[in-house]
């Protein structure tokens, strides 16, 4: 396997990155990955004044949808994020259940409304026989060409997935998918809103490259 060595492009190290802390998710893992890449203007917060000053936002997520959306709303973050993302058009990256919250609703533990930024639904994975659930492990992601967030990744890199529910939405918003007997949405996008079902902070070099691709593109 020949690997062509790349020089990192001029890194925008002065961008202000805020990882949204809403009591859910592995904020430390995400912050480790971002720090490793050299970004030192990094905050983990749920405070409005800090989020307002961010150039880019990251919404991590682990766990059940209903718990996540409840935690987000109880910290008044739905209102703050609606303003920053929909009005101010700040780039935001949602990870796993963070991404799932961007769509209309989810059927996990009952029907719960999401932020409805991207039309779509979160549904339980309907897998073929002999396919275990959750979908856990390394799977190769197939992306549409000219997708900015994956432009540092080689073709069909492996990323780490760990989920039982997935996003179904319009094909125009799907920028990457993976195969698990069925096609599973791996990444979505609508203008400044990006979401990935896998965990880039846990996907070793592929994940770090994806973070770099995303942060360079903003």
Partner 1 sequence: MLKKRVAANIVVKDGLVVQSVKFKKYLPVGKPKIAIEFLNLWGIDEIILTDISASKKKLTPNFDIVHEISSKCFVPLTVGGGITNTEHIKKLMHCGADKISINQIAIFHPEFITKAAGIFGNQCIVVSIDAIKENNKYFVFDYINKKQIKISPAELAKQSELAGAGELLINSVDRDGTYLGYDIELINSVCEVVKIPVICCGGAKNANDFIEVFCKTNVSAASAANFFHFTEHSVITTKANIIKKHNIRIETHATYYENNFNEDLRLLKSEDHKLEEMLFVKIEKEII
Q: Which two tokens stand for residue 169?
A: 């939405």
Q: Residue 75 CB, nearest distance to partner 1 (Å)?
A: 17
Where on the chain is the footprint of partner 1 (CB under 8 A)? 1, 3, 5-8, 26, 28-29, 32-33, 36-37, 62-64, 67, 97, 130, 132-140, 152, 157-158, 160-164, 179-180, 199, 201-209, 212
Residue closer to partner 1 (CB basis): 23 or 191: 23
Residue closer to partner 1 (CB basis): 17 or 97: 97
Residue closer to partner 1 (CB basis): 55 or 67: 67
Q: Which two tokens stand for residue 139?
A: 């799977």
CA terminus-to-terminus distance, the chain = 31
Q: Residue 131 CB, nearest distance to partner 1 (Å)?
A: 8
Examine the residue annotation and report whether 199 is marked as an active-site residue of this protein. yes
Residue in 112, 191, 201, 204 annotated catalytic: 201
Q: Residue 6 CB, nearest distance to partner 1 (Å)?
A: 7
Examine the residue annotation and report whether 96 is marked as an active-site residue of this protein. yes
Q: Residue 178 CB, nearest distance to partner 1 (Å)?
A: 8
Residue closer to partner 1 (CB basis): 22 or 192: 22
Residue closer to partner 1 (CB basis): 173 or 206: 206
Q: C-alpha distances in angstroms, 125 versus 63, 103, 134?
A: 15, 16, 8
Examine the residue annotation and report whether 201 is marked as an active-site residue of this protein. yes
62/197 Cα distance (integer angstroms)? 11
Residue in 96, 108, 112, 163 annotated catalytic: 96
Q: Residue 64 CB, nearest distance to partner 1 (Å)?
A: 5
Catalytic site residues?
96, 199, 201
């Amino acid at each position: 396997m020949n690997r062509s060595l790349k020089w990192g492009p001029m890194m925008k190290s002065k961008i202000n990155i805020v990882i949204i802390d809403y009591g859910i998710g592995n904020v430390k893992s995400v912050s480790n990955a971002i720090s490793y890449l050299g970004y030192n203007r990094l905050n983990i917060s749920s405070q409005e004044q800090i989020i307002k000053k961010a150039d880019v936002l990251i919404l991590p997520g682990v766990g059940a949808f209903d718990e996540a959306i409840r935690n987000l709303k109880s910290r008044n973050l739905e209102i703050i994020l609606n303003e920053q993302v929909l009005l101010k058009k700040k780039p935001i990256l949602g990870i796993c259940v963070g991404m799932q919250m961007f769509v209309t609703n989810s059927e996990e533990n009952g029907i719960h409304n999401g932020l409805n930024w991207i039309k779509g639904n979160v549904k339980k994975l309907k897998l073929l026989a002999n396919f275990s659930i959750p979908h856990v492990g390394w799977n190769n992601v197939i992306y549409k060409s000219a997708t900015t967030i994956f432009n540092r990744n080689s073709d069909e890199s492996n990323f780490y997935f760990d989920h039982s529910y997935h996003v179904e939405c319009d094909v125009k918003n799907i920028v990457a998918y993976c195969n698990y007997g069925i096609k599973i949405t791996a990444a979505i996008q609508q203008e400044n809103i990006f979401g990935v079902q896998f965990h880039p902070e846990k996907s070793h070099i592929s994940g770090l490259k994806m973070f770099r691709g995303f942060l360079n593109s903003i």
